[in-house]
Each structure stands twice: as structure tokens, then as C-alpha cells.
Amino acid sequence: MKKIFLCITAVVLVSFGCSQSSAPKEETPVETVYQPAQVLFIGNSHTNYNNGVSFYLHGFLTQIELPYNPVVEKITVDGSTMSQHAQDATTLAKMAEREWDIMVFQENTFVAANNPVEATVGMQELRFKIPNSTTRLFLFMTWAYEAEPAMLSAIKTTYETTAPLVSGTIVPVGLAFQEMLNDPGNTLTLYNPDGIHPSVEGTFLASAMFYAAIYEKDPRLNPYNGGLAEEDASYLKEKAYETMLNYPN
């Protein structure tokens, strides 16, 4: 009986060893590195002024090595809201033109400050129109009018209320404007003479923030100056970096 038991045990062990050796090995999954190669800005003149935030953002990208050729474009209509973009055939065609990795929504500043429900609904409506399910969304928080700094609080609240509803990441450009305006050492103007639209410096500041937010890179380490004096560009990149670092997104 003891011999039979030992034989059976041996057979079982051999069989187990065979089954173990013949079992297919599990392959280690290869992690896909996300590459924001194609970026589309959707907004109005705040996005479009001075050749556009997209123009300067692309300038930052020309100074670094990337494993792809970046595409950074915009579709803007002066004064437009996100709700209007959601009904605009040209905007919808542009959204469907590529499998955009990133889209940036910039709501009308007056609407964001004075009609938050309309702004939130508009951004949600346009969010549902994005054809590519893998597209990541960033929200361009704009600045208060120069003569109406109190607008910023309402603008901030609107974006922060909307962001979780659309799975969006806020880029708080308006807060960087405020930081600079409160800096007694600042000699730069961020506003166009109309007190509403950005100066070249304001647009450059916004682009530096999107460079930090989308590509997760430090703009201070990028030599791109956008045609500005090196000292001015360095100061703007510093403020862009500080604002993004301190904002709890």
C-alpha cells in the first residue's frame, strides 16, 4: 500500500510539474506613454489675440525635443460663448478633423463672470460634442477686465464648479494676471489698451502656463522668449510656473 501511495504521489508531482511548465507565461503589459501631440484651442478673441495662445505655445515646443511633430491649432470666433461654439458647424467640423489629444475651452469672460449657469451648461454641451473619447480637456480660466478686478472671483468660481462636471483641468491664467498686478515690482502690462484683451505679454504668460499644464514641463527652463526681452520673458515664465505650482488642480 505504501509503495502504491508513493507511486501515485510521484505521478501527481510529475503531472503537476508538466502542467506548470506547459502553462503559458503571462506577458508584462507595456505601459503606453501619453503624448499630447495634437492640441486644439476653442474660444474667442481672448484666445486669438496677438496671433493666439496657440502660436506662442507652439513656439515653446520648437525649443524642445519631442517624439512627435506637435500640432497646435485654434478655432475662435470673437465674442463667442461655448454654447455658440457647440452649435457652430465650423467649430464642430474642426473638432472632428483630427483625433485631438487635447482640447482647450475658453468661455466668454463676461458670461463666466455674470451668467455662471449659462457658462457651465455651454461647456458641458460642447464637451459632449467631442468625437474622440480619449481627448483630454483643459479649461482656460481668463482674467477680469482691467477696470473690474472683482470679476475674477466669479470667473474662478464658474470654472471650478464646471471642471469636475466636464472632467476638465483648469489653467488659471486669470490668477496669474492677478498675481502680477499685485506685485509691486512688476513693470509689465498684461492688458491691451482696451483693458479687456491681453497684451503680447499677457498672451505669452498664458502660453507658458499651458506649456506647463499640458506638457508638464517647467517654462523657466525653456529658452523661448516669443520676441520679448529676455528679462521680461523670464519674469513671465516665473509667474506662470509659480501659479501652476500653487494651484490645487
Which pLDDT tens digit goes with each residue over 205-245?
A: 999 999 999 999 999 999 999 999 999 999 999 999 999 99
> What is the model's pTM?
0.87
Alpha-helical runs (H) found in the chain: 2-22, 45-48, 53-61, 82-86, 89-95, 109-114, 116-127, 151-166, 173-181, 200-215, 230-246
> How many CB atoms within 10 Å of residue 31?
6
pLDDT band at 191 (very low <50, low <70, confident <90, very high): very high
Q: 57 is written with which cell numbers? A: 505655445
Distance set, CA 153 to CA 114, 116, 175, 203 (Å): 11, 12, 10, 21
* pLDDT tier for residue 14 given thresholds of 50, 70 and 90: very low
Q: Find out whether 125 and 82 touch, Cβ atoms under 8 Å.
A: yes
Q: Which three cell numbers stand for residue 123?
A: 461647456
CA distance 179 to 242: 10
Of 140, 112, 144, the C-alpha closest to 40 is 140
CB-count exposure of residue 234 (10 Å: 0-12, 13-18, 19+):
middle
Q: What's the maximum distance between 2 C-alpha atoms anywhere in the chain?
A: 102
CATH 3.30.420.40 fits 38-246, yes or no: no
Q: At what angle do helices 173-181 and 230-246 cross, to 10 degrees?
A: 120
Give counts: helices (H), strands (E), the chain.
Answer: 11, 5
pLDDT in tens, 160-169: 999 999 999 9
Residue with cell 480637456: 137
CB atoms within 10 A of CB 142: 28
Task: Say which residue, 24 or 226, is predicted with more confidence.
Answer: 226
Contact 113, 151 (CB under 8 A): yes
* Tens-digit pLDDT profile for residues 168-182: 999 999 999 999 999
User: What is the rounded average pLDDT for all residues in the chain?
Assistant: 90
Residue-range domain boundaries for the chain: 38-246
